[in-house]
Amino acid sequence: MAKKYSCQFVLIRGQVTRKEQTMSQIRVRFAPSPTGYLHVGGARTALFNWLFARKNKGVFVLRIEDTDTLRNDEAMVRGILEGMEWLGLNYDEGPFFQSDNYEKHRAAALQLLENGFAYRDFTPKAERDDATIKQRVAEAAKQEKPVNAYRTLSREESDARAAAGEPFVIRFKVLEEGKTQFEDEVFGLQERDYKDIEDLVLLRSDGHPLYNLSVVCDDIEMAITHVIRGQDHLSNTHKQVLLYQALGKPVPRFGHLPLIMAPDKGKLSKRKHGEIVSITTYRDAGFIPDAFLNFLALLGWSPDFNEYGDREIFSREELIQSFSLAGINKANAVFNFTQGDARNWTDQKALWMNAEYIKTIPLETLLPFVKAELQQSGLWRDAYESEQKVWFDHTLTLLRERARTVKDFTNHGRPYFVDDISFEFDEVAVKKNLQKDAALKDLLPQLAEAFATLDDFTHDGIEALLRKTAEEKGVKVGLLTNATRTALTGQSVGPGLFSVVEVIGKDRTVARLKHATQLM
C-alpha cells in the first residue's frame, strides 16, 4: 500500500511583486527546472541558498525555470516541491514561474536592441537533432566561428527586413575589446576576455526569450542580491554580467557551488543511477529529514574549523548558525554508493548519519516518524500512544539502537509488534540457533514452562532464570539465549536478549518458545 504524501505547498502562480524591503536585505533564490523530482544536487543548492538566507535574515525565493516549454507542466513542479517540503526548506516568496515573465524578458531584449546593445541576426535557423545536440555543439565549437555578418547591418536595413517579415533572432553584441570580471564568493576573481564570449541569442526567432536573458531579468525583478547556484553556470555568468551592465542594473554577488558527481566522477543522473538521485527516495526509504540535510550540507561544505572543530552532527539550527559561503569547498564532491548493493544502496555516510540521528534524537522527535512507518506497514496500534505508551517507548529505545532507517522499525521490529508469529524466521538463524543442538527440542518447552511460572518477569528476573536453567541443565547460557532470540524474533541479532524477552512479554514468549520446536 502506497503511502499518500500530500503536498502542502500550493501551486499558485505568484505575482512577481515584492514587499518593501531595506536596501541591505539579502535575497537569494533557488531556480530549478521542473524536471518532476528534486535531484540531490538541486537539493543541496536549495539548502545552501536557504541556509544563507536564514543565517543572514534574508529572503529565500523559489522560482521555477520553465522557459523550456517542453517541460512546462505543473506535475513536473510537484516533485520539486515535495522534496523541498520534506527537507523543510521553506521559501518566503514564490513559487514564481519564469514563463509568466516572457513579456518582460521580451521587452528587455527589445530595449537592448533599441539601445544598440543587441542586433537582429537574419541567419536561417539551423535544425538540430535533440538527441545528438551535445556532440554536435562540441563539433561545431571546434571550428573557428566567423564574425556574425549582421552585427554591422545598418539599422535601416535591419528594420526594413524585419518589417518585411523576415525571421530573425536578437543577439547581444559583445564588445570586441575588454573583459568582464566578477568576484565569485566561492571561486574568487573571475575574468574573461570579450573575445571569448560569443554574441548570445536573447530572443529566438519565434519571439521566445532565452535562458541567460530570462535569469538576469528575473533576478533583477526579484531584487536578488546573491546568486548561489551550481558551478555549471560559472562560465555563463560572464554573459549575464554583460546583460546586467547593458540593462543598467547593479550586478548581484555570485557564489558557485561545486557539483555532486557519481562514483565514477561522471554526472549523477536519474537515467543512469536511478531513484538514488531523487530526494523523495530518501523520504520513502525512512530517512530523517534533518539527517539527510546534515549529510547534504557536509557534501562540499564544512563549518569553520576554529569554531566548530571536527564536528559532523549539526542540527538544523546549528547548520544555520555555522553556515558561511567561505566554508564551501571548490572541488566537486562524489556521492558515494554501489549500485546493486541492497544494504548499502546509497552513500554509506548518509546511512550512518541517519542511524546516528535515529538513535540520538529525543524519542518524542522520533515518534512521529516511527508512527507513520508502522501505520504504513499495518503494525500501528493507537494504544501505543495511550495505555501501551511506556511499553512502546521502551521497545523503541531498544530497537532504535540498531536501526539505520525508519523502515527498520518494520523490518526488524515486526516480531515486537505482532501477537502471533507472522514474521520471518531467518533461515541462517534457525539453522544456527535452533537446529544445531538437538537438546533444544526438550530445553525450549521446559524453558517455556519456567517462564510461564516466573513472577519476576523483568530483565533481571529473566536473566536469573535463564542462567539458573542453563546451570541446571548443564548447558551454556549462550545456547539458551541464542535459541530464545531466534524463537522469539526469528532473528540472530538484536538487542540484549533479556530485554527482548521482557518486552515480548510472558504470553508471547511462552507461545513462541513452544512453537519453535516445530522449526527443529
Q: What is the 3-state secondary structure (H, E, C) of 286-344?
A: CCCHHHHHHHHHCCCECCCHHHHCCCCCCCHHHHHHHCCHHHECCCCEECCCCCCCCCC
Closest approach, Cβ 507 to RNA, in A, equals 21
436 is catalytic: no
- Dihedral sign, CA of 151, 153, 156, 162? negative
Question: Can residue 198 be called a binding residue for RNA (CB under 7 A)?
Answer: yes
Task: Provide the grid cell at 182.
Answer: 566578477
How far, in Å, CA of 268 to CA of 263, rounded?
Answer: 9
169-172 and 201-203 strand pairing: antiparallel
Work out whether 150 is an interface residue with RNA (CB under 7 A): no
Assess 496 for contact with RNA (CB under 7 A): yes
**Residue closer to RNA (CB basis): 233 or 249:** 233
Q: What is the DSSP string of 476-500?
A: -HHHHHHHHHHHHHS-S--S-HHHH
Could you say which of 102, 187, 345, 380 contacts RNA (CB under 7 A)?
187
How many residues line the site for RNA (CB under 7 A)? 87
Query: Which amino acid, one-letter code, is at 253?
Result: R
Residues sharing a CB contact under 8 Å with residue 8, sequence separation 6 or more, in sequence order: 85
> Which one of 27, 28, 30, 33 is in contact with RNA (CB under 7 A)?
33
Which of 224, 440, 498, 510 is close enough to bind RNA by CB under 7 A?
498
Q: Cβ of residue 117: shortest distance to RNA, in angstroms?
A: 17
Give the range of 63-71, 273-281, 365-373, 380-388 binding RNA by CB under 7 A.
63-71
Query: Among residues 104, 267, 270, 371, which one is catalytic?
Result: 270
Give the helix/strand (H/E) hosting 280: helix 279-284
Distances (CA, A) of 277 to 55, 335, 352: 27, 9, 18
Q: Which of residues 384-443 bind RNA (CB under 7 A)?
A: 401-402, 404, 426
Q: Closer to RNA at the Cβ: 85 or 408?
A: 408
Residue found under cell 530483565: 459
Query: Minimum CB separation from RNA for residue 221, in Å?
Result: 15
List the interface residues with RNA, window 311-340 (CB under 7 A).
312, 327, 329-334, 336
DSSP state, 166? -
For RNA, the closer CB: 167 or 445: 167
- Element spanning 163, H or E: helix 155-163
- Rounded to a whole number of angstroms, the minimum distance from the CB of residue 116 to RNA is 20
- x/- site string to RNA, residues 361 to 390, per CB under 7 A? ------------------------------
Q: Which stretch binds RNA (CB under 7 A): 15-23, 64-72, 150-158, 439-447?
A: 64-72
Q: Which residues, numbered 83-142, are part of the site for RNA (CB under 7 A)?
A: 98, 123-126, 128, 130, 133-134, 137-138, 140-142
Question: Considering only CA atoms, which of 377, 346, 313, 98 is closest in space to residue 222?
Answer: 98
Instruction: For residue 82, count other CB atoms closer than 10 A to its CB.
Output: 21
Nearer to RNA, 116 or 207 (CB): 207
Q: Which residues pair with 172 in a beta bridge?
A: 118
Q: Which of residues 466-495 bind RNA (CB under 7 A)?
A: 477-478, 481-482, 485, 491-495
Q: Is the backbone of residue 182 left (phi > 0), alpha (psi -120 to 50) or beta? A: beta
Site for RNA in 199-238 (CB under 7 A): 201, 204-206, 208, 210-212, 231-236
Q: Which is nearer to RNA, 240 or 384 (CB)?
A: 240
Q: Which stretch of DSSP H or E encloses residue 261?
A: strand 260-261
By beta-carbon proximity to RNA, the closer residue of 327 and 461 is 327
Catalytic amino acids?
270
